[in-house]
Amino acid sequence: MRLPPYLTFIAASCVFTFGINGKEGAAPPPSTPTDCPYTSTIICPTTLPFRPIDGTCNTPNSPYVGKSETPYARIIGAMYMGSKTPRNVSFFGKPLPDPRKISLKLFSTISSNQITDFSAIAPTFARFVEHDLYKTKLLDASHCCTPSQSSGVCDNIIISSNDIYFASYLRTCLPKGKSVNSPTLDCKKDIPQQINENTHTLDLSNIYGSTPAINTRVRKWKDGLLKVSATKNLLSAYALPECIISSPNLNNEHCFDSGDLRVNVDPLIMAMYTIWVRHHNAVATKLKDILTDDSDDSIFQTARKIVIAQYQHIVYNEFLTALDHTLKEENSMSGTTSHNATLKPIIFNTFSLVYTAIVDSMAPSNITIDGKEILLDRVYYRPAKLFETNGIKKMLEAMQTTMANPFKRYVVPALKNSYLQRALGSGTDKVALNLQQSRENGAPVYTIFYRLLNNIHIGGDLNEIEWSPELKELYPMELDMELLPGLFYEKMNLPGVNYGKTTKVLIDKQFKVLKEGDPYFYSHAGVFTPEQFTEIKKTTLAKILCDNGDLTHVLEKALIRDSVEGNAKKECSDLVGMDTCNWSTVGWSDWRNHGLYFGFYILTRKCNILPSSKCYCTGEPIQYKPYQSRALQNIVNVEAIKKINDIFYENFGPGGNPLNPNKSNFTVILKGLTL
């Protein structure tokens, strides 16, 4: 049933007042909580050469903006019952459908058999980006759905007795901890806000950590390196209770430590984390030979800055443009961009819900390694595959040949029925959890979200939705349709875009503030020298997978399947990557005067860059200065000087990198050359 335009407007207006353009939505009369954690004054340094680990002072005029353990922003105002209670009834007094019922009815586990261009690398990298950008802080759910659960801690999902999966395991409840709520950053609005445990910016906090304590834990504290295992160059060990180790443990398996412990969810994401940790260490190793300040922290922070920049380049020039082909020209980054201080790099509350749903919809159900099919719901928290011989290599090769699912209303059983299961029947429904979380987050109904985000007048028919019988059954009143079902039932009629109109607006706005509002974003003028920026733009995900994944061949467009036209496997040796030599702060020694020969002083200098770095100093290692005497200049033997120059390069190395110009008999050699 669809409401007349005036009733749609009245119903919406009675629930909340909206705020758009990245501002907080209006709420009940302002108040100043006495326990607001964002009132302490933070004085930021005038300049910070490197991005802070926890995001504090990332935006100097707003020290808390983008910091870990701070609330999401609202692109549109929240929708609650009253001011704080999550909605569980429709606008017309009837109960909203249970999240599990919505999951079963609207998000099919039966494949539509649609072909997609994406390989399994795409959803894996997408989830890696998710782990970097946000993690909603929840109360401990370990005792939820048990007699000992504490009041006010759990927001469980009820399972009906005729559930097609969980009822067979006598499950009546899926545990979920409630969100840890927070006031807004300005401490003035008495409305629940959800907290992002991670930093809000694209800064690889999932490998470097979002707090100094985590960063301290994952670093080796030597030569700028991150910790890795003693064998196989995998991530270091972490004693995670959920971790399942093979018995007997013949390969010395362990679960992994990193900036975000979601690294341990499955072997696909474990492999992606490992690639980026290895890449950081490879960059740090190269920097050690070319930095004047080769202290651990100098190497670490410089490597971190470079690796974050390469990651940002991949996100904007490979990942987003693969999802939305209309972004290619906008994100070409042919020149430098500018920081926009009016934009705040904070994750939108609704983006955290929608992006998770997109990633989930793309996930495959299995991969094949060595001819054996591996069901993903059988390897949660099991790192065994990575400890096998060539484990990382085989995992990456399997992901390249596995097709991802399209962005549609299809979610694999591994996420719908057995997410995070350790034994059969012990898992949960990730889709239902996300739907429940959207209510707790106060996500607006789709109708309002669609109209306000697209600047469409409230009222009239909603023509962007593909109305199915299931959708009409669950939401007989159009206004009641919740955000995630609405976005997934939007028509996909934008050429080259893998999602609907409203989802595109939301994603574009989010990544706009993450780029323009972040003063450390890699393409902003002054963040890197022009020469360094040019090198960073050579970065491709394919090259990083090659260099750190033990591969010999790779798909040139790493996120795309090999059957897609124009995307074929290439030898890793043929790929061009970034050259770190432009970050060298080591150069020539001072000039050394070797004396006067035939009217010229001969001066030489030594390149202090170690040959192992494969970098070299630009410029000349030898210089001739004429003696200020015409008499001597008239008898200069030009051929002798030319001979000195030629033999100098022949004997002391090409590229301006003399082997040892300061050895004791150097002057004797010069004298011999002039005779």
Indicate the pLDDT class of residue 332, thresholds 50, 70 and 90: low
pLDDT of residue 254: 97
Q: How far apart are CA 345 and CA 73, in angstroms?
A: 9
Angle, helices 267-288 vs 391-401, to 10°: value is: 120
Q: How far apart are CA 588 and CA 347, in angstroms?
A: 46
pLDDT in tens, 427-482: 999 999 999 999 999 999 999 999 999 888 665 566 788 889 999 999 998 899 99
Indicate the pLDDT class of residue 5, thresholds 50, 70 and 90: very low
Indicate the pLDDT class of residue 85, thresholds 50, 70 and 90: confident
Structure tokens at 384: 């065994």
Helices then strands (H, E): number in the chain?
Answer: 22, 12
Q: How far apart are CA 504 and CA 490, in angstroms?
A: 11
Q: Residue 602 is inside which H or E element, if any?
A: strand 600-604
Going from the N-terminus, what domains does the chain have, and what CATH number goes with each?
Answer: 1-107+118-137+179-585 (1.10.640.10), 592-674 (no CATH)
- Lowest mean pLDDT, pick from 260-269, 521-530, 559-568: 559-568
Indicate the pLDDT class of residue 622, thresholds 50, 70 and 90: confident
Q: How many CA atoms lie within 13 A of 494 on its CB side?
A: 16
Angle, helices 121-133 vs 391-401, to 10°: value is: 110
Beta bridge partners of 181: 194
| Model pTM score | 0.89
Please provide residue 594's backbone torsions phi and psi, each rounded to the nearest 5 degrees.
-100, 5
Greater confidence (601 vs 571) lies with: 571
Mean of per-residue pLDDT scores for the chain? 86
- For range 324-334, the mean pLDDT: 68
User: How many CB atoms are located within 10 Å of the residue 647 CB?
Assistant: 14
- For range 264-270, the mean pLDDT: 97
Indicate the pLDDT class of residue 166, thresholds 50, 70 and 90: very high
- For range 245-259, the mean pLDDT: 95
pLDDT of residue 114: 72
Percent of the chain with pLDDT over 90: 65
Amino acid at 513: V
pLDDT of residue 365: 92
Q: How far apart are CA 432 and CA 98, in angstroms?
A: 8
Q: How far apart are CA 54 and CA 92, in angstroms?
A: 44
pLDDT in tens, 44-57: 887 888 999 999 99
Indicate the pLDDT class of residue 656, thresholds 50, 70 and 90: very low
CA distances, 244 to each of 229, 290, 380, 382, 459 (Å):
18, 42, 8, 5, 53
Closest-CA residue to 323 (of 503, 540, 454):
503
Closest-CA residue to 203 (of 281, 310, 295):
310
For residues 435 and 428, the answer to whether their CB atoms sit within 8 Å is no
Greater confidence (347 vs 563) lies with: 347
Greater confidence (30 vs 88) lies with: 88
pLDDT in tens, 21-70: 333 333 333 334 457 889 888 888 878 889 999 999 988 889 999 999 99
pLDDT of residue 670: 53
Structure tokens at 87: 């909605």
- For range 390-403, the mean pLDDT: 95
